Amino acid sequence: MFERFTREARDVVENSQKAARQAGSRAIDARHLLLALIEPGAASAQDLLAVGVQSQQLADSLRGELRAGGLDADALASVGIDLDAVRERADAVFGEGALDRGRRAPLKGHIPFTADAKKVLELSLREAVRLRTNRIDERMLLLGVLRATGSSAETVLRRVLTEAGSSVDALRGVVERASTQAS
């Protein structure tokens, strides 16, 4: 499958590994892929802007999710625990990033993909086939994220789109139009 990836799409995969390392993650999940997809100047960042989403806004949301380290702020809030307050207090008492320092050291070498990241890559191939193109580029990867309903990245992206007054369908339309024009 990777032989069909354009140079830009390969860069996204490489940059997702860098994003995982920076977040202290032990695996690359779909959020790392999406974070790598929306770097300034990327086609995906332009597509998001076309539907009213600033890539920085999405990046901040993704980094916040990754920083939570798997802690579900909403679930904790339901039992009366404010994760942001706990994080602020830990930072005040033990220094900036205290909760993050407890994570294991990042992996050296190759970082594995999680099931949801693999699913995004697989769905990107399906999107390329559906749109009758031989290559998988950044936009196919973004369509893969959109099609991966319930993945960590799709959930964040859907929320940010809704907050911006847009939708997954609107973004899908912009991406598909741009893809067919580029072909």
Paired residues of 81 in beta bridges: none
Q: What is the average pLDDT value for the chain, to the nearest integer?
A: 85
Task: Specify the pLDDT at position 93.
Answer: 77
C-alpha to C-alpha distance for 158 and 119, rounded to whole angstroms: 17
Task: Say which CATH superfamily domain 2-182 falls into.
Answer: Clp, N-terminal domain (1.10.1780.10)
Q: Using one digit for the tens of pLDDT, what is the confidence trace for 40-71?
A: 888 888 999 999 998 888 988 888 888 766 55
C-alpha to C-alpha distance for 82 and 86, rounded to whole angstroms: 6
Task: Specify the pLDDT at position 12.
Answer: 94
Closest CA to 6 of 94, 117, 134: 134
157, 123, 34, 132 alpha-carbon torsion, rounded to 10°: -100
Task: Specify the pLDDT at position 180.
Answer: 84
Q: What is the percent of the chain where pLDDT is above 70?
A: 84
The terminus-to-terminus CA distance of the chain in angstroms comes to 19
Q: Using one digit for the tens of pLDDT, what is the confidence trace for 86-138?
A: 767 777 777 766 565 455 454 567 899 999 999 999 999 999 999 999 899 99
Task: Specify the pLDDT at position 73.
Answer: 58
Q: What is the pTM of this model?
A: 0.80
Mean predicted confidence (pLDDT) in 76-88: 72
Domain boundaries, the chain: 2-182
71 backbone dihedrals φ, ψ, rounded to 5°: -75, 130
